Structure 1
Amino acid sequence: MALSARETPSTRQSIIDAARHVLMRDGFSGLSTRAVAEAAKTQMSQIRYHFGSKDGMILALFADMTERLILRQTSVFEDPEIPLSEKWALSCDFLDQDLDSGYVRVLQELIAVGWSNPAVGDAVRASFGQLRDLHVALAKDFADRIGGLGPFTPEDVAALVGSAFIGAETYLLLGLESDALPVRRALRRIGDLIAQHEPPNSAKD
Structure 2
Amino acid sequence: MPGPRASEAERKEQILEAALQVATREGLENLSTRKVAAEAGLSQGLVFFHFESRDTLLLALLGRLLERTAVPQVDSEFLQIAAPAQRLAELLRRDVARFLRERTSVQLFFDYWVMGAHNPPVRDLIRQALAKYRKAYEPIAEAMALDRKERLPALNPQGLTAVMVSLIQGCAVQAVIDPDGFDLDQFTSTAEDLLDLLK
Q: Equivalent of 1:133, from 129, 132, 135? A: 135
Q: What is the rounded CA distance, in whole Å, between the counterparts of 2:13 and 2:100 in structure 1?
A: 24
140-149 vs 6-15, greater mean Cα deviation:
140-149
The aligned runs of 1:52-131 (5 Å cut-off) are 52-70=52-70, 73=72, 75-76=74-75, 80-82=79-81, 83-84=86-87, 85-99=89-103, 102-131=104-133
Matched, 1:38 2:38: yes
The CA distance in 1 between the partners of 2:145 and 2:78, in whole Å, is 16
How far has the Cα of 1:184 moved from its partner?
Answer: 3.0
Cα distance between partner residues in 1 of 2:184 and 2:118 = 31
Alpha-carbon contact 2:22-2:31 (below 8 Å) kept = yes
Query: Counterpart in 2 of 1:202?
Result: none
Gaps of 5+ in 1: 200-205
Equivalenced residue count is: 189
Q: Quick one: which of 167, 171, 193 aligns to 1:168? A: 171
Deviation at 1:73, TM superposition (A): 2.0
* C-alpha distance 30-8 of structure 1, shift in aligned 2 (>3 A): same
Give the TM-score normalised by structure 2.
0.79
Q: Which residue of 1 aligns with 2:24?
A: 24
Cα distance in 1 for residues equivalent to 2:44 and 2:37: 5
Q: Which amino acid aligns with 1:117?
A: N
- How much is the aligned-residue C-alpha RMSD, in angstroms? 3.0
Return the alpha-carbon distance in structure 2 between the equivalents of residues 30 and 149 of structure 1.
54
Q: CA contact under 8 A between 1:136 and 1:154: conserved in structure 2?
A: yes
Q: What's the % identity of the aligned pairs?
A: 21
2-side partners of 1:47 and 1:16: how far apart? 10
Looking at structure 2, the residues matched to 189 and 164 of structure 1 have their Cα atoms a distance apart, in angstroms, of: 14
Aligned-partner SS, 1:73: coil
| Counterpart residue number, 1:203 | none
Moved more, 20-29 or 143-152: 143-152
Partner of 1:155: 158
The alignment's TM-score, normalised by the length of structure 1, stands at: 0.77
Distance in structure 2 (CA, Å) of the matches to 1:156 and 1:149: 17
CA distance in 1, matches of 2:141, 2:167: 15
